[in-house]
């Protein structure tokens, strides 16, 4: 039964990925607003109902790969080790993602990742959703810090600073690669830049808030 369920889940995942990649290709070629769900279904060799069974809206198709990453910083802080500050936790997570060249931090040579970003950047409704999702991630981080410290105002300041540093690093990766620099070069220099960026935040936040062992 476990093997049957495992196979079923893998097939569902493969179908979802096929639908998403087909949709992104169509959106990039003709524009997000000019492609219908029915056209996506036809090109993916599934029914329109199947598309809606997997994705509630057209926007969901675009953000399927990225949605969870808007909460990366909050997740790093929530799961950090005793004695580890919020900045340390986010920096550690970010450096781990740099090491694996995670697409979520802009260090991946696959054309699909850059195609997806260009689509979002060039489509107002998608840009708005990305902005709101990023804001939600920062608010979640602030809420968690406030639970620990009891001070929502300072927690909001801290969350904004940490998120800003992280976002600036990711934007720098995209900017340099878009300008023609090899991914390997940008990735090699990324750890040092990350250390500098988070050190700047750390000089203001210090060990706020260090989790009690």
Please report whether residue 114 resides in a domain.
yes
How far from each other are the two terminal CA atoms of the chain, in whole angstroms?
43
pLDDT in tens, the chain (213 residues): 444 457 778 888 899 999 999 999 999 999 999 999 999 999 999 999 999 999 999 999 999 988 889 999 999 999 998 889 999 999 999 999 999 999 899 998 778 888 899 999 999 999 999 999 999 999 999 999 999 999 999 999 999 999 999 999 999 999 999 899 999 999 999 999 999 999 999 998 777 776 665
Sign of torsion over alpha carbons 159, 72, 206, 196 = negative
Range of the domain at 18: 2-57
Last residue of a domain, one of 12, 32, 57: 57
Say if residue 51 is in the same domain as residue 71: no
Let me know if residue 213 belongs to a domain: no
How far is Cα 203 from Cα 49, in angstroms, rounded to an integer?
Answer: 53
Nearest to 163 by CA among 102, 93, 100: 93
The domain that contains 88 carries what CATH number?
1.10.357
If phi over 0 gives left and psi between -120 and 50 gives alpha, with beta otherwise, what is residue 72?
alpha
Between helix 152-178 and helix 124-149 the angle, nearest 10°, is: 140
Supply the pTM of this predicted model.
Answer: 0.85
119 and 141, same structural domain? yes
Any domain includes 9: yes
**pLDDT reported for residue 5:** 54
Who's near 185: CB < 8 A, 6+ residues apart? none
Q: Are 19 and 46 spatial neighbours (Cβ–Cβ below 8 Å)? A: yes
Q: Is residue 127 part of a domain?
A: yes
> What are the CA-CA distances from residue 187 to residues 47, 48, 112, 149, 202 (Å)?
41, 40, 18, 35, 23
Q: 141 and 86, same structural domain?
A: yes
Residue 154 lies in a domain: yes
Distance set, CA 35 to CA 16, 80, 119 (Å): 18, 43, 13
SS3 150: coil
By residue count, the chain amounts to 213
Distance CA 85, CA 193 (A): 19
Regarding whether 128 and 110 lie in a shared domain, the answer is: yes
In a shared domain, residues 44 and 71: no
Tally of domains in the chain: 2
Position 52 in a domain = yes
For 163, list phi and psi in degrees, rounded to 5: -65, -40
Q: Are residues 85 and 142 in the same domain?
A: yes
**Does 114 share its domain with 136?**
yes
**Backbone torsion region of residue 102, taken as left when φ is above 0, otherwise alpha when ψ lies between -120 and 50, otherwise beta:** beta
Residues 53 and 73 in one domain: no
**DSSP classification of residue 178:** H
The predicted pLDDT at position 213 comes to 59
C-alpha pair distances (Å), 154 with each of 79, 132, 143, 211: 20, 21, 11, 16
Residue 169 and residue 80 share a domain: yes
Residue 1 has a pLDDT of 43
Residues 16 and 43 reside in one and the same domain? yes
Q: Identify the CATH number of the domain in which residue 37 sits.
A: 1.10.10.60
Of the candidates 57, 80, 101, which is a domain's last residue?
57
């Amino acid at each position: 039964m476990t093997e049957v369920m495992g196979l079923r889940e893998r097939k569902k995942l493969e179908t979802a990925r096929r639908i998403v990649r087909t949709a992104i290709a169509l959106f990039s070629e003709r524009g997000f607003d000019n492609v219908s769900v029915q056209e996506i279904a036809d090109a993916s060799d599934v029914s329109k109902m199947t598309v809606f069974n997997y994705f509630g809206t057209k926007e969901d198709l675009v953000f399927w790969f990225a949605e969870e990453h808007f909460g990366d910083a909050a997740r790093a802080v929530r799961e950090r080790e005793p004695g580890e500050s919020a900045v340390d936790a986010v920096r550690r997570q970010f450096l781990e993602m740099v090491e694996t060249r995670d697409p979520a931090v802009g260090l991946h040579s696959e054309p699909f990742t850059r195609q997806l970003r260009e689509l979002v950047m060039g489509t107002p409704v998608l840009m708005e959703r990305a902005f709101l999702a990023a804001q939600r991630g920062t608010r979640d981080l602030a809420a968690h810090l406030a639970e620990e410290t009891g001070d929502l105002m300072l927690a909001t300041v801290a969350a904004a600073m940490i998120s800003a540093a992280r976002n600036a690093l990711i934007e720098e990766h995209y900017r340099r690669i878009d300008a023609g620099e090899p991914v390997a070069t940008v990735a090699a220099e990324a750890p040092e830049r990350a250390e500098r960026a988070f050190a700047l935040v750390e000089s203001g936040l210090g060990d706020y808030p260090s989790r009690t062992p």
